Chains A and B, each alone.
Chain A
Amino acid sequence: MAAHEHEQGDSLLAHGDHRPPAVAPLSFLAPDLPDNDEAQGSASDLSSSASESDLKRLRRKSHVQVLRSERIFHLTLRLGGLFILLLFATVLGVSLVEAWPSIEKFGWSFLWTSTWNPHRHIFGAWTYLVGTFWVTGIALVFAIPIAILSALFLSDYAPKWLVGGVSTLMEMLAGIPSIVFGAFGIIFVVPLMRDHVEPYLANTLGHHFDFFAGDSMGYGILSAGLVVGIMVIPLVATVTRDSLVMIPRETVEAAYALGSTKAEMVYFVKLPAVVPGIIGSVILGFGRALGETMAVLLLIGNQASVPSSIQDVGYTISSLLANTFTYAVIDPLFSAAEIELGLILLVISLVVNTLGRELLLKLMGGRLAGSVGGG
């Protein structure tokens, strides 16, 4: 601190004579200085260079301040980073310890055991894993095309006056609490599925594929998946639109100059260019769909069975935890099994995020660029 003050005083009293030696380590700031130094060097007449010396004084002061605040800033950032690390380690550590009775007892078979019977002390994750993937899958299959189409519409086809409004709506949609979507699902999506969509599916595709047949309850993986999909749309659409907007004008012009129609330009040039953005947003959406609890809990029918049709009920990991965790605490093995389910959810999202990032890096690094273009 003392050195800094001295240095400051130095520059205040004897500006222009020489560079205070203490400033030398600051040479990385040099690009800012040459003009200033020249002015100083040639300035024998102080009055003519008064403004410059003021400027210089101000700058000298800020050098020290910049250095100091930089250090504090770095330290703060490091603490922040450390905190995240500690938090993650704590969550993982505590979950592992608490889940240990279940991990120890069931081992890997926990993953593919489909019995979940607290009464008999048999716990297996299979039905909940399958349910979770069904809901996530339906949500993404529903959301991704709509999101991409709406992003394309907003970036290339919508009239200007509409873009602002729709974009704002989209962002608002992303901010609506999930319980509201759950309620919307009950009052709108469930009756729609029960009275129209599911009977239609059962009477058409359902005759040929059991996968579409069923009882038309309304509640089930289809309704839950669709509503979660609605929640994922704004996420994917916003990121996709942002990456569409970032495509350079020159690229678009190049496509037109080669005789592309607008549709060809959008399909062959813009879409491949935003594939990394879409993948990134899909990963975000996957994470959201994977962990979505309240809306799913209200709509999925919470039945621990492996769905064989899109009309069936099911159960996801997160809705099971929400429904029964407060009760599970009464029994150490029961609660351990539920925490192990939570751990599995954690691991899945970690794996997906990591894979997604790797894929993105590859695409952006151009190593897969050839396959993007279809060549």
Chain B
Amino acid sequence: MKFVTRYAGAAALAGLVAMAGVGQAQAADMSISGSSMLFPLEQVWSQAYMKSHPGTHISVASTGSGFGISNAANGNITIGASDAYLTRDLKKRYPSLVSIPVAFEDTQVIYNIPGLAKGTALRIDGPTLARIYMGKIRFWDDKGLRDLNPDATFPHSRIKVIHRADASGTTFVFTDYLAQTSKAWNDEIGRDLSPAWPIGSGYNGSDAVVAAVLATPGAIGYVGLGWINEYHLDSMALKNRDGYFVKGSVDTIRAAGKAALHDPTFPDDFNQSMVWKLHGKDVYPDANFEFWMVSTALPGSTMKEVKKLIIWSLTKGQNEKYTVKTGFAPLPFTPLKSRLNKILNHILPGNTVNIESGG
């Protein structure tokens, strides 16, 4: 992709230079680009931030996590937004990148089962879900599903598997859960923003997934908290590490985050998934961080502004009017503080920031 990135980069750079030239009087210009999932949150953030910080200009674009990561690494944009943490591979390719968690994303399983009594609470575990998504369980009245849900009466109807067609963070978190819990899934498909789906049908964007599930009798699909709330959807309770079946909600997702941050084995650079790792009765097993990627090669003056923005986003920016409204669970700040300080010091050494008063 040398050619395309180089020229897309050049174009983006030219755009930035032009903007900088026009906006000499402005104190700071930052560009955020990448994950389409984070985009709505970044939009409300940037508007609120520019209002409270006159002289700062933030441009936000939804270009996909792939573009976000690669363009943040070669300096074409200030901040790259990504649904996925930096895997070892990516870390090797882009050594200058540091990932900063900014919100929680999650994936919940939705369904359209004809004849199922309204209000029936459904439960599912990773291996069963993986078998459905691999085409090994083909009917809703399969024994595995009945054993998990002894109170529910399933119809003998075909399961129609629905997934995302575009590369998506939601898919990454979903397949992460399957890969963590099912050896077959891990061996054959693995976790990816855009995996090689063995069966089903794919739709572009979570809205389309919701529409397809609602329109297709027998369908099963997955979306994040925002869509569950917006469309008032029922989701299945997922089995967590300690054997509890937990439904996704702001509280259970935050509980997962807290558990991760309090876990001394969780890496300080966040370059590890927290899906399925955590213990606790009310810990939702299929949630993870959304990230901003920042290159340590950014000039000092820009980095200062970036730091200010990050601190604001992690404090004031976590207000539910921004996060929950756009489909994310707010990060718990207190347990995050010490880990975050390390990261911030890493991206701008020698400049300690008092986070508590930040923002």
Residues on A lying within 8 angstroms of B by beta carbon are: 94, 97-98, 115-120, 186, 190-191, 194, 215, 217-220, 297-298, 301-305, 313, 315, 319, 322-324, 326-330, 332, 335-336
Contacts and interface: CB of A to CB of B under 8 A. Distances in A.
A329 B67 contact: yes
B199 interface: yes
Contacts of B195: 117-119
A324 B201 contact: no
Contacts of A302: 165, 201-204
B203 to A, nearest CB: 7
B66 to A, nearest CB: 4
B194 to A, nearest CB: 5
Interface string B58-73: 0000011111011000
A327 B194 contact: yes
12 contacts: A98-B1, A120-B190, A120-B196, A218-B216, A304-B197, A315-B202, A323-B167, A323-B202, A326-B167, A329-B1, A332-B1, A335-B1
Contacts of A305: 199
B192 A119 contact: yes
A324 B197 contact: no
A327 B194 CA distance: 8
Given A324-B165, A328-B66, 18 more contacts: A98-B4, A115-B196, A117-B196, A118-B192, A118-B196, A119-B195, A194-B216, A217-B216, A218-B215, A298-B204, A301-B203, A302-B201, A323-B194, A324-B194, A328-B1, A330-B66, A335-B1, A336-B1
A329 B70 contact: yes
Chain A CB within 10 Å, residue with most, of B193, B196, B200, B208: B196
B189 A119 contact: yes
A179 to B, nearest CB: 11
A215 B199 contact: no
Nearest to B158: A215
Interface string B190-223: 1011111101111110001001100110000000
Contacts of A190: 215
A330 B70 contact: yes
Contacts of B69: 330
Interface of B: 1-5, 63-67, 69-70, 90, 158, 160, 165-167, 189-190, 192-197, 199-204, 208, 211-212, 215-216
A327 B66 contact: yes
B335 to A, nearest CB: 31
A219 B201 contact: yes
A190 to B, nearest CB: 7
Contacts of A218: 215-216
A324 B167 contact: yes
A186 B215 CA distance: 10
A184 to B, nearest CB: 14
B99 to A, nearest CB: 14
A322 B202 CA distance: 13
A298 B203 CA distance: 7
Contacts of B90: 330
A319 to B, nearest CB: 8
Contact of B204 (A120, A297, A313): A297
B349 to A, nearest CB: 28
Contact of B3 (A97, A120, A315, A330): A97
A215 B160 contact: yes
B193 A327 contact: yes
> Which of B160, B165, B166, B211 has the most chain A CB within a 10 Å cutoff?
B165
B179 to A, nearest CB: 10
A116 B196 contact: yes
Most chain B CB within 10 A, of A186, A194, A302, A304, is at A302
A70 to B, nearest CB: 39
A260 to B, nearest CB: 51
B165 A297 contact: yes
B196 A119 contact: yes
Contacts of B201: 217, 219-220, 301-303, 313
B158 to A, nearest CB: 6
A329 B5 contact: yes
Contact of A329 (B66, B194, B196, B212): B66
A216 to B, nearest CB: 9
B185 to A, nearest CB: 11
Contacts of A336: 1
Nearest to B190: A119
B76 to A, nearest CB: 12
B29 to A, nearest CB: 24
B208 A298 contact: yes
Residue among B1, B158, B189, B215 with the most chain A CB within 10 A?
B1
A326 B66 contact: yes
Nearest to A330: B66
B77 to A, nearest CB: 14
B196 A327 contact: no
Contacts of A335: 1, 4
Contacts of A315: 202
A132 to B, nearest CB: 15
A291 B270 CA distance: 42
A294 to B, nearest CB: 9
Contacts of B65: 327, 330
Nearest to A332: B1
Contacts of B70: 329-330
A328 B200 CA distance: 21
A324 B197 CA distance: 13
A115 B198 CA distance: 10
Contact of A326 (B67, B160, B189, B212): B67
